[in-house]
Amino acid sequence: MNTQHKETGELPSPGTHTDHLLLTLGIFLISILLSTTMTAAENVEPSLDADEQDFVSWLDSQEDNMVALLERITNINSGSLNQAGVDEVAAIFSEELRQLGFSISSLPGEVINMPSCPGSDYSIDVTEHVLASKPGRGTRLLLMGHLDTVFPPESPFQTFRRNPDMMYGPGVADMKGGLVIMLYALKALNQFGDLQEKAITMLLNSDEEMGSLSSRKYLEQQAQLHDYGLVFESSSNDNLVRQRKGLGQARFVVHGLASHAGSAHQQGRSAIKELAYKIVELESMTDYESGITVNVGVISGGEARNTVAPCAEALVDLRYPEIQQGLDSVARFEDIFDTVFSYAVDSGEISTESWINLHRPPKIATAESDYLLEKAVAIGRLLGQQLGITDSGGGTDGSLTQAVGLPTLDSLGSAGTGAHSNREEARISSLVERAKLSSVLIHRLAAE
């Protein structure tokens, strides 16, 4: 730096010399900063190669077919407990995947027993899951999606509707739109002979909306056998999700003592009263500061107005950003279930049965999952899709696979909102957009 100045022969004043030094240093540091942030934030992907351009232009001609398939499967109710409906959607995808060269096997479901009040059976009978596998060379990819929705057959929200830009109906966002996108991304590769060599497995589970209680073991097994995981849950508002909270659920049943509410009120032990006290304790665990939320979402109980209730039950949802918070919450749940709040003297007539499950660990970002995320965002840019990055309180199966070491990118599905409500909707153009994104992403990852 000194020589420079000497060369001009001018001897600058001491103050100025330091200023110059600081200035140059500052500019230098800023340029370093800029260049590093630029590369980190804006992962640059090579432009589309000939194959990829073929995928993209072929997909441009497939919107009607994709919407037609989505309409067909949306109009089939596949609430998690509607086995016939789930199996029907599974059969449609199994046939489509067979035609693409996948071998199809079914993974057994199971009955998950839960405590219940006499007369109400809350056990969950999960139907089988679909495993579609195709051996190949190179990077092994695990594609995931769920066949079930939250809407039971008796729900009024049953059918597919559309207008020029938007589609509405149970699952268009969560996540039948994503199933169609996943399939058409593979169809695009297959169309140009690019699928044959690839090592791809697809796991379609039937119980995600119940917490993947049966399919978890299969997801974790398959995670160990692959290099990357791709989940086609909704990309709400054109965002890809980087991190997710952990999820837990609990079911508890309070047993009390029935009595005549008029003539023997004192002899009774109201299970509903005890349930109410416990609900207040549970809900008070919510702390937005720490990110923990507890929601008692379903309650039932009692037999008659004039009978002190012998039994009452509830279903609880838990969200937590860090695993330790999840474990601490479980301990607090157990405390609340074991304590009798509603009667000064716990004479043993009140007891509580409970079932607690931290069914999804938090999805914590890793360098590998960030790599997948940035690659997808960069490919999106190549395709003219401005994708954002966000965190979410909602859970997916990607949390399970990432937690056992499989770098997983979830939210590659349709751009939609209103999941789990009768306001569920998705943007029609996102079907082709996301299928393009995924076909290029799969093509590039498989070649690594």
Q: Are 205 and 127 in contact (CB under 8 A)?
A: no
Tell which positions 233-272 bind Zn ion, by CB under 5 A. Answer: 233
Dihedral (CA of 73, 177, 166, 191) sign: negative
Query: CA 246, 282, 119 angle in degrees (round to 5)?
Result: 95
Alpha helices in 44-167 (DSSP H): 50-60, 63-74, 83-99
Of 171-179, 210-218, 311-319, 377-385: span binding Zn ion (CB under 5 A): 171-179
- Taking residue 149's Cβ as centre, other Cβ atoms within 10 Å add up to 30
Under rule CB under 5 A, residue 175 binds Zn ion: yes
If the CB atoms of residues 212 and 222 are measured against Zn ion, the closer one turns out to be 212
Q: Nearest residue by C-beta to Zn ion?
A: 174
Q: Are 230 and 274 in contact (CB under 8 A)?
A: no
Instruction: Give the shortest CB-184-to-Zn ion separation in angstroms.
Output: 19
Dihedral (CA of 165, 429, 397, 284) sign: negative
Of 2-10, 110-118, 172-180, 287-295: span binding Zn ion (CB under 5 A): 172-180
If the CB atoms of residues 172 and 282 are measured against Zn ion, the closer one turns out to be 172
If the CB atoms of residues 146 and 187 are measured against Zn ion, the closer one turns out to be 146
Cis, bond preceding 175 (omega within 30 deg of 0): yes
If the CB atoms of residues 109 and 171 are measured against Zn ion, the closer one turns out to be 171
Q: Are 155 and 82 in contact (CB under 8 A)?
A: no
Chain centre distance of CA 92: 23
Which two structure tokens, joined as six digits, stand for 244?
A: 């997710």
Instruction: Give the shortest CB-122-to-Zn ion separation in angstroms.
Output: 22
Distance CA 161, CA 173 (A): 13
Phi/psi of residue 24, nearest 5 degrees: -60, -45
Under rule CB under 5 A, residue 210 binds Zn ion: no
Of 42-50, 170-178, 308-316, 435-443: span binding Zn ion (CB under 5 A): 170-178
Instruction: Give the shortest CB-30-to-Zn ion separation in angstroms.
Output: 43
Under rule CB under 5 A, residue 174 binds Zn ion: yes
Please give the size of the binding site for Zn ion, defined by CB under 5 A: 3
Of 165-173, 225-233, 291-299, 300-308: span binding Zn ion (CB under 5 A): 225-233
If the CB atoms of residues 96 and 233 are measured against Zn ion, the closer one turns out to be 233
Instruction: Give the shortest CB-174-to-Zn ion separation in angstroms.
Output: 4
Q: Which residues bind Zn ion (CB under 5 A)?
A: 174-175, 233
